[in-house]
Amino acid sequence: MRRALAYAALIALAAFLVAPFAWMVLVSLHPTRAPIPDYGELIPAHAQWQNYWLVLTNSEVPVARFALNSVFVAVCVVSGQLVVCSLAAYGLARIRFPGADAVFFLFVASMMFAGVVTQIPVYLLMRDLHWLDTYAALVVPGLSSAFNVFLLRQFMVGIPRELDEASQIDGAGHLRIYAQVVMPLCKPALATAAAFTFFAVWTDFFWPLLATNSMRMRTLEVGLSIFKNSYGATNWPLQMAAAVVTLMPMVVVFVLAQRWFVRGIQMSGIK
Amino acid sequence: MKSRRTGWLFVAPALIHLAVFAIGPIAYAVILSFTDWNILKGGPRFAGTGNFARIFDDGQFLRSLMNSFVYTAASVPLGMAVALGVALLVSQRLKGITFFRTVFYLPAVCSQVAIAMVWIYIYLPKKGLVNAILGWMGLPDGTDFLSAPGWAMAALVFMGIWVGLGPRMILYVSGLLNIPESFYEAAQLDGASPWQQFSRVTLPLLSPTTFFVGLTGTIGAMQVFTPIYMMTKGGPEGTTDVVGYHIYSAAWERFQIGEASAMSVILFGVVLLLSLIPMRTVWRQSEGVF
């Protein structure tokens, strides 16, 4: 009885969370420029799969280019952060040096309150470096995050010290211990950090909106908003098709990766 | 001596990045807040505290700050309560539970712009999903939620809870799984009712999670931007003009860099104050790990 109730609640909730997505797909299959369908006619009589083709090949809004930009920026930011943040985490977790506590506090504190306040100065910095509307502006400000330093440090603190002491006796330096002992043991935490960072970069809207202005430099997220505001303004089926195109890669990645993603969060000590 | 240098070398790249893209900019924003600068015309001119005086005189900024408080105070506690309830549900040993966890997390990995587009549709008068459901239940079904001053903020809060459910739920699930089973066994032996077990064992042991979720939620909600930009542009009648959007329009639509910087510095102070209390707790905990 309790089980049945639990499943009923789960299914109701799942329906509540999935309904908007299902609806998005259904509307995207209606004829373009058709009036908004009534509920009785939500399932289209003839699915217009060519809507997706229209979105992907639209010459005014280069969706393929947006997607490529998003992939490139996300890959650069994720790999950069994994290196930069794991190095810092190793230094803070495995090397005893005066000032380490203060540095760690600085990272934790900045995690709490950076945000809107940095937007204008970072924009001005990018402008003065002539980096606006280039990949540098999209990638470089994202190359490190205090959150990942924190997450990886917490994980590294939990790795037994005997391991590096043994390697030290064998004559290994810190760089070697970092690369060959600690990093391989951090795989779950690194995977979590990578996933979090990837989702964050992929769905970031504000910064790419500010930092780019030409069509060829836009990311998917910004591109979609342009699509909505101009090309597909009142064309709901086409708008929804564009939204589905933007969502799909993420949904697929997430469904494939969710098992270790969820486990990684549990193991990485965010409590 | 050697380990001192090595330690700093390991930390250096991240620390330099932090200095260039977080600490430096915060300091620079403070400097800019004392200048008068239209970014399209010339450079910054020193303006003393003129920006701050103007901001507080104007009233619209304070109103946007109020709107942000309303959005935060409504969406964060409610979102946390819902997430905890769902976490209790999905932390049970049931078949296929990972499927449900995945589904509940889905909105959080999705494009915010796409989600905003769907929710615009959901809130449409007459043909939107919400009005359709109201209609089925025999209630008045003509409301244009995003254009009605009394409804727009509530509509955004509701959507915020929907989007934020997954991450909050996952954090609560991992918090719940970290509570040793033996605590509940002991409570049961003492004859504790399910409610007593929840209020005396679960909730207190979850408090670090609650702090973390509450803190990050508050910081995020105070700076919400994308749904506002996509769905209401601060309207109707300024009821959803939250501070994140207000600063955006001051800087990038009116190009008043000095004034926008002053606003962002005030927001920074407010968020700092709001996070001070839970931050102390988080810090105290992280000390134990060292």
Chain A: nearest CA to B100, how far in angstroms?
A: 7
Asked if B171 and A13 come within 8 Å (Cβ–Cβ), the reply is: no
Question: B223 CB contacts (<8 Å, ≥6 apart)?
Answer: A115, A116, B243, B244, B267, B271
Identify the burial level of B256 via C-beta atoms within 10 angstroms of its C-beta, where 0-12 means exposed, 13-18 middle and 19 or more buried: buried
Chain B: nearest CA to A78, how far in angstroms?
A: 14
Asked if B118 and A98 come within 8 Å (Cβ–Cβ), the reply is: no
Question: Residues of B numbered 215-244 whose beta carbons fall under 8 angstroms of chain A's beta carbons: which are they?
Answer: 215, 219, 223, 225-226, 229-230, 243-244
Find the residue in B nearest to A232 (Cα).
Answer: B117
Contact A206, B226 (CB under 8 A): yes
B281 at A interface, C-beta within 8 A: no
B273 at A interface, C-beta within 8 A: no
Write out residues in chain A with pLDDT < 50, as ranges.
269-271
B113 at A interface, C-beta within 8 A: yes
Chain A: nearest CA to B277, how far in angstroms?
A: 11
The Cβ of residue B2 has, within 10 Å, a number of other Cβ atoms equal to 10
Which pLDDT score, from 0 to 100, does residue B169 have?
A: 92
- Gap between the Cα atoms of A125 and B25, Å rounded: 9
Find the residue in B nearest to A8 (Cα).
Answer: B89
SS3 state of residue A259: helix
| Tokens matching residue B190 | 């003492």
Strands B35-38 and B41-46: antiparallel
CA distances from A145 to A150, A209, A221, B152 (A): 9, 20, 21, 34
Per-residue pLDDT of chain B (290 residues; tens, 9 = 90+): 577 889 999 999 999 999 999 999 999 999 999 999 998 888 888 988 999 999 999 889 999 999 999 999 999 999 999 999 999 999 888 888 888 888 888 888 888 999 999 999 889 887 788 888 888 888 878 888 999 999 999 999 999 999 999 889 988 988 898 888 899 999 989 988 989 999 999 999 998 889 889 988 998 999 999 999 999 999 899 999 999 999 999 999 999 999 999 999 999 999 888 877 666 665 665 554 43
Chain A: nearest CA to B190, how far in angstroms?
A: 23
CB nearest to A108's CB, from B92, B165, B286: B286
Q: How many CA atoms lie within 13 A of A122 on its CB side?
A: 26
Place of tokens 């190095």: A87
Find the residue in A nearest to B8 (Cα).
Answer: A91
| b/e sequence A215-247, b meaning 16+ C-beta within 10 Å | eebbbbbbbbbbbbeebbeebbbbbbbbbbbbb
Question: Residues of A numbered 61-80 whose beta carbons fall under 8 angstroms of chain B's beta carbons: which are they?
Answer: none
Chain A residue numbers with beta carbons less than 8 Å from the beta carbon of B4 are: 97-98
Asked if B18 and A254 come within 8 Å (Cβ–Cβ), the reply is: no
Contact B243, B68 (CB under 8 A): yes
- Gap between the Cα atoms of B28 and B22, Å rounded: 10
| Tokens matching residue A265 | 């969060």
Q: Read out DSSP for B153-182? A: HHHHHHHHHHHHHHHHHHHHHHHHHTS-HH
CB nearest to A91's CB, from B11, B113, B174: B11
The Cβ of residue B130 has, within 10 Å, a number of other Cβ atoms equal to 18
B129 at A interface, C-beta within 8 A: yes
Give B45's strand partners. B36
Question: Residues of B numbered 16-75 whose beta carbons fall under 8 angstroms of chain A's beta carbons: which are they?
Answer: 17-18, 20-26, 28-29, 32
Question: B73 CB contacts (<8 Å, ≥6 apart)?
Answer: none
Encoded amino acid at A51, one letter: N
- Gap between the Cα atoms of B281 and B277, Å rounded: 7
Question: A211 CB contacts (<8 Å, ≥6 apart)?
Answer: A123, A126, A132, A133, A137, A138
Q: Which of A119, A161, A209 to mutate to test the interface with B (most CBs of B within 10 A)?
A: A119
Chain B: nearest CA to A268, how far in angstroms?
A: 10
CB nearest to B7's CB, from A91, A120, A266: A91
| b/e sequence B73-88, b meaning 16+ C-beta within 10 Å | ebbbeebbebbbebbb
CA distances from A92 to A164, B7, B130, B287 (A): 15, 7, 51, 13
Cα-Cα-Cα-Cα torsion B231, B233, B237, B239, nearest 10 degrees, comes to 70
Encoded amino acid at A153, one letter: R
Asked if B121 and A105 come within 8 Å (Cβ–Cβ), the reply is: no
- Gap between the Cα atoms of B187 and B195, Å rounded: 11
Chain B residue numbers with beta carbons less than 8 Å from the beta carbon of A250 are: 109-111
Long-range Cβ pairs for the range B90-99 (8 Å, 24+) = B90/A10, B90/B169, B90/B173, B91/B173, B91/B176, B91/B177, B92/A6, B94/A3, B94/A6, B94/A7, B94/A10, B98/A258, B98/A259, B98/A262
| Tokens matching residue B238 | 């300024």
- Gap between the Cα atoms of B257 and A121, Å rounded: 10
Contact B64, B232 (CB under 8 A): no
Radius of gyration of chain B (CA): 23
Asked if B170 and A262 come within 8 Å (Cβ–Cβ), the reply is: yes
Contact A140, A131 (CB under 8 A): yes
A119 at B interface, C-beta within 8 A: yes
Asked if A251 and B109 come within 8 Å (Cβ–Cβ), the reply is: yes
Predicted confidence (pLDDT) per residue in A82-141, tens digit: 999 999 999 999 998 899 999 999 998 888 766 788 999 999 999 999 999 999 999 999
B90 at A interface, C-beta within 8 A: yes
Q: Which of A2, A3, A10 to mutate to test the interface with B (most CBs of B within 10 A)?
A: A10
Which parts of chain B fold into alpha helices (H)?
A: 2-18, 24-32, 50-58, 60-90, 97-109, 112-122, 129-136, 152-177, 181-189, 194-197, 203-205, 207-222, 226-231, 243-252, 257-289
- Gap between the Cα atoms of B76 and B54, Å rounded: 31
Q: Read out DSSP for A96-125? A: --TTHHHHHHHHHHHHHH-SGGGHHHHHHH
Asked if A38 and B127 come within 8 Å (Cβ–Cβ), the reply is: yes
- Gap between the Cα atoms of B130 and B76, Å rounded: 22
Find the residue in B nearest to A222 (Cα).
Answer: B113
Contact B156, B232 (CB under 8 A): yes
- Gap between the Cα atoms of B257 and A217, Å rounded: 24
- CB–CB contacts below 8 A, A to B: 269
The Cβ of residue A195 has, within 10 Å, a number of other Cβ atoms equal to 21
Contact B264, B247 (CB under 8 A): yes
- Gap between the Cα atoms of A94 and A153, Å rounded: 9
Which pLDDT score, from 0 to 100, does residue A228 have?
A: 84
A49 at B interface, C-beta within 8 A: no
Chain A: nearest CA to B201, how far in angstroms?
A: 16
